[in-house]
Chain A
Amino acid sequence: MPDQALPVLDVRGLKTVFRTRGGEVHAVNDVSFHLRPGELLGVVGESGSGKSVTMMSLVRLLPSPPADIRSGEVMLQGKDILKLRDEELRDVRGARVGFVFQDPMTSLNPVFTVGDQIAEPLIRHKGMTKAQAANRAVELLELVGISDARKRLSAYPHQFSGGMRQRVMIAVALACDPEVLIADEPTTALDVTIQAQILELVKDLRQKLGMAIVWITHDLGVIAGIADRVMVMYGGQVVEQAPVKELFTNPRHPYTRALLKTIPSLTGHRDARLQVIEGQPPILTAAPTACPFRPRCKHALDRCDRENPQRRALDDRPVGHGHDVACHWTPESADV
């Protein structure tokens, strides 16, 4: 474990708010996490809990207005990205932080060929010639498992299937060997065999290049297979964070526990009805003053109404390094 190495990416106290006609949306509330070289942080959480907005805020990809990054620091190799000038930021986005977006169709440009879109960052940031970039683009497409790659360079995104577009996005993000890869639901459109191939590729890149990775997914099976640590988000906050084994064997936040119970099984008993977490997600129109999970929580205490719990360490390591949880409840306080 590269536990001692300095983090490549260190995010502290990030807050992002949207200003809309209907008032403010507090999408990200005081999120902190870090990544060491070669490390893979899995991010899971409810739909709408702020996973994508957090990651897009890091490299200021959200249009402002309506998005407003209220506070926080995003240190990339010791330098705060949020304070960079626009042209420095372009370099960071294209070359140093690779981004795989959740929605491949809207992030690929429909009027450019797939080949041009992969070659563009190589020409711009790596100073390659057109021919060099095209060769590298073929290599990258082959790496992500697209057959007949050279012929497909001249295809447009709409001629690709959903999963192929997603793999093109991965190829674009990896083109410049970034220090940090942020992958937002990168394999939702991929079948399990190609997913397995992508996961192998990612393992390789971590070992060979020390690439640090944030992997957002709803697929807990994937998380179990590739993550070193897992961060669980709910209502714009980090509610739990732990090494991967610890999270699966000893989940502490009531949301995490409920989430782990909802996975349908491939081999076990087939339930007539799938488990859901009852209740509605929070609407985040103001900065939270109570625990956001409170209305759906089985273990809620009076205190949870008054005070939004801070993350606290559950072992002897500081918050963010070992197992931590943002919850007032403890299994021992069960019947308070």
Chain B
Amino acid sequence: MFDAAPAQPLVQVRDLKMYFPIYSGVLRRKTGDVKAVDGISFDIFKGETLGLVGESGCGKSTVGRALLRLYEPTAGSVSIGGTNVLSLGDEALRKTRPQMQMVFQDPQASLNPRMPVAAIIGEPLREHTDWDGQKILARVYELMDAVGLNRKFANRYPHEFSGGQRQRIGIARALALKPKFIVCDEPIAALDVSIQAQVVNLLEDLQDEFGLTYLFISHDLSMVRHIADRVAVMYLGRIAELSPRDGLYARPLHPYAEALLSAVPEPDPALARSRQRIILKGDVPSPANPPKGCNFCTRCPKVMDICRQVKPELAEVEPGRLVACHLYSEKTAAG
């Protein structure tokens, strides 16, 4: 390849693990771990949007929080812009905050109910800049316009907003300092399609203008198709497939990715009838007790013997396409 300059990873994650201890009994002794994230590695390039999709409870939010050190990961390394995030002390970590932000999945829980909206959106500006009140307010108005919140609502409190309006308050706050890297955890789930489009267009404009990098966590596979350059599909704490968008949507390689894409509801009733759905059988195993071998082996329509014994590693099976599945490593495994 003769690409002018190879893209630089802004975010590098290696073998990240996040276990939550389980305590039980009267003595609250530790009896096990919820392996919410169980050894995942990926890069996000500068100016890129990496989509992160997968079943509810598979560990997406935990990945996002661990990257920004809102959790203390159990193991692994995370480097953002060359800084090893996991080894920073409190003050050094605070200083990096303006660079990396998160839009939270649960807007209500992440907004201070006793602060009016203008104060909430302006908070990072007060904390990390020396701007005066007027300049901050001007920026707050700009941000409210950008996410489609009426300026007249600036003095309202979070409970006076609808679900989708609250979500936009969180987005405006995350954008306030023009961070370099934003983890967007279901940023548009609560919004109607038109406002979803407005927010996604805004995220893309900011990316074009300032080279922002996003980790975009979402259940909405059509929106991920629109916004992401590459997409990571997670299952039970691990990455099943990480592929460029077009390749993944045209021809998913991992059987879980295939099932996931086939289940998207189709808004056109005529098309809806003709779509072939792969309905997965069986329950999602508990992350406290993942199956031996491949963690998808209990539900995989293409399961083989080896899948119940050996954990498949994420490996490049076609140029740019990483898949953790024995279907593709069979040849090598057989020797």
Contacts and interface: CB of A to CB of B under 8 A. Distances in A.
Interface of A: 18, 20-22, 25, 44-49, 51-53, 102-106, 142, 145, 147-148, 151, 154, 159-164, 166-167, 184-185, 188-196, 218-225, 244-245, 248-249, 258-260, 262-266, 270-271, 273-277, 280-281, 283
Nearest to B148: A280
Contacts of B266: 221, 224-225, 266
Given A193-B55, A266-B249, A219 B265 contact: yes
A161 B194 contact: no
Interface string B183-195: 0001001111111
B163 interface: yes
Contact of A188 (B24, B190, B221, B283): B190
B197 interface: yes
Contacts of A225: 265-266, 272
26 contacts: A21-B155, A25-B160, A47-B190, A48-B165, A103-B108, A104-B106, A147-B284, A147-B285, A148-B289, A163-B56, A185-B163, A188-B186, A188-B190, A195-B263, A218-B191, A218-B193, A221-B265, A221-B272, A259-B194, A260-B267, A262-B197, A266-B222, A273-B201, A274-B226, A275-B194, A276-B197
Interface in B43-85: 53-57, 61
Interface of B: 20, 24, 34, 53-57, 61, 105-109, 148, 150, 152, 155-156, 160-165, 186, 189-198, 200-201, 204, 219, 221-223, 225-226, 249, 259-261, 263-269, 272, 277, 279-280, 283-286, 288-289
B219 A224 contact: no
Nearest to A194: B56
A273 B46 CA distance: 21
A203 to B, nearest CB: 13
Nearest to B205: A273
B263 A218 contact: no
B265 A147 contact: no
B226 A161 contact: no
A147 B283 contact: yes
B197 A185 contact: no
A147 B163 contact: no
A145 B285 CA distance: 10
A263 B193 contact: yes
Nearest to A63: B159
Contacts of A265: 222
B139 to A, nearest CB: 20
B193 A192 contact: no
A160 to B, nearest CB: 8
B196 to A, nearest CB: 7
Given A190-B56, A196-B279, A22 B155 contact: yes
B162 A224 contact: no
Contact of A192 (B163, B194, B264): B264
A156 B195 CA distance: 33
A192 B221 contact: yes
Given A45-B192, A164-B56, A276-B194, 16 more contacts: A21-B155, A47-B191, A105-B108, A167-B56, A189-B219, A193-B280, A196-B265, A224-B265, A259-B193, A260-B267, A264-B226, A266-B261, A266-B264, A273-B204, A276-B195, A276-B201
A215 B53 CA distance: 24
Contacts of B288: 148, 151
A224 B272 contact: yes
A188 B189 contact: yes
A44 B17 CA distance: 40
Given A102-B190, A188-B189, A218-B192, A264 B152 contact: no
A62 to B, nearest CB: 10
B270 to A, nearest CB: 9
A264 B227 CA distance: 11
Contacts of A248: 267-269
A191 B56 contact: yes
Contacts of A222: 265
A192 B224 CA distance: 13
Given A191-B53, A266-B249, A283 B260 contact: no
B197 A264 contact: yes
A281 B147 CA distance: 12
B26 to A, nearest CB: 12
Contact of A148 (B163, B200, B286): B286
A275 B189 contact: no
Given A147-B284, A148-B288, A276-B194, A48 B56 contact: no
B56 A105 contact: no
Contacts of B107: 103
B186 A270 contact: no
B33 to A, nearest CB: 12
Contacts of A184: 163
Nearest to B218: A191
A277 to B, nearest CB: 4
A262 B200 CA distance: 12
A47 B152 contact: no
Contacts of A103: 106-108, 163
